């Protein structure tokens, strides 16, 4: 039985654009209840925290929240055909963007949404090269979060702090054909003091992110609680990802040239930072509809 605070059951293959609706005026909007599920929130009360922060961000950006967060009601069904009317909001595209920006970034759904909206809100004003920069920057941020998450999983699996370097190097060796982080930098001509991920392009970052997420899942799935087994598991996953790259004809990661330092990319994008104050057409204003 679905409780009042539970999220809508949205299939995993449904995208943000699939949830778009049109009102009687032909204006697009999204249901907050449906967006709640898409962004990985199971409880309405927790999702409301992101909603409240988004509304405040809307005010701070100089936009009227009433035009983007319109009170509504939604009928939900319980067991045996019973129904109940619950609070909902009709959200503009801009409102959805603000909710994603104010959501729990630890949720993979939020991280994906942040990347999606970051790209969409700039797509009209940035060149293809700048869009590629933005995608790389967002992927770099996500990979950093995945690195931290993997470290936490490794600790839970019994890896001691003094062995963290060896644990992470094992994954590198699996993915990069037997060479560790220092050797990879030397091969690519990267300064030893630089972070290797800061010099990875999107393809190399994606391969490493996949290695990290799959290792974390393997440690959890197999209930690994031994330091040696955890290290071996990381190297094994790295080898499997490398094999997959080879199978599809991809470039081995150690042969991918170093990319421009990510800090230079970030600095360049900041100069092209768009304004949050949108005109009516871009904002997707919604007519007011009192909460029912």
Q: Rounded to the nearest 5°, which phi and psi values hold at 213?
A: -65, -40
Q: Which residues of the chain have pLDDT under 50?
A: 1-5, 7, 274-285, 287-292
pTM of full prediction above 0.75: no
Q: Could you state, in order of their start, the residue ranges of all structural domains in the chain?
A: 17-121+275-283, 128-271
pLDDT of residue 124: 54
pLDDT tens sequence across 141-157: 999 999 999 999 999 99
Q: Are 137 and 146 in contact (CB under 8 A)?
A: no
Task: Give the torsion sign (CA, 113, 117, 123, 124).
Answer: positive
pLDDT tens sequence across 38-91: 999 988 889 999 999 999 999 988 888 988 998 876 655 555 555 556 788 999
- Euclidean distance between CA atoms 163 and 213, whole angstroms: 20
- Euclidean distance between CA atoms 100 and 94, whole angstroms: 10
Q: Rounded to the nearest 5°, which phi and psi values hold at 67?
A: -85, -10
Q: Which helix (H) or strand (E) holds 144?
A: helix 128-156
pLDDT of residue 125: 53
């Amino acid at each position: 039985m679905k409780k009042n605070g539970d999220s809508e059951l949205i299939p995993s293959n449904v995208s943000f654009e699939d949830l778009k609706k049109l009102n009687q005026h032909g204006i697009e909007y999204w249901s907050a209840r449906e967006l709640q599920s898409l962004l990985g929130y199971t409880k309405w009360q927790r999702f409301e925290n992101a909603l409240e922060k988004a509304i405040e961000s809307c005010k701070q950006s100089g936009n009227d929240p009433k035009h983007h967060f319109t009170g509504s009601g939604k009928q939900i069904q319980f067991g045996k055909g019973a129904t109940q009317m619950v609070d909902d909001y009709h959200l503009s595209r801009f409102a959805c963007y603000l909710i994603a920006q104010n959501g729990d970034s630890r949720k993979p759904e939020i991280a994906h949404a942040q990347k999606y909206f970051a790209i969409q809100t700039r797509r009209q004003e940035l060149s293809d090269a700048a869009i590629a920069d933005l995608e790389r920057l967002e992927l770099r941020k996500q990979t950093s979060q995945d690195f931290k998450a993997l470290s936490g999983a490794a600790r839970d699996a019994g890896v001691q702090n003094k062995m963290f370097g060896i644990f992470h190097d094992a994954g590198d060796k699996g993915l990069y054909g037997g060479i560790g982080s220092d050797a990879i930098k030397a091969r690519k001509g990267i300064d030893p003091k630089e972070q290797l991920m800061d010099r990875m392009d999107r393809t190399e970052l994606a391969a490493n992110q996949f290695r990290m997420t799959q290792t974390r899942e393997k440690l959890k799935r197999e209930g690994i609680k031994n330091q040696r087994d955890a290290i071996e598991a990381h190297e094994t996953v790295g080898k499997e990802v490398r094999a997959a790259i080879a199978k599809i004809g991809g470039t081995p990661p150690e042969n991918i040239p170093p990319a421009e330092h990510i800090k230079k990319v970030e600095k360049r994008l900041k100069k092209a930072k768009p304004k949050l104050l949108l005109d009516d057409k871009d904002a997707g204003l919604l007519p007011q509809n009192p909460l029912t």
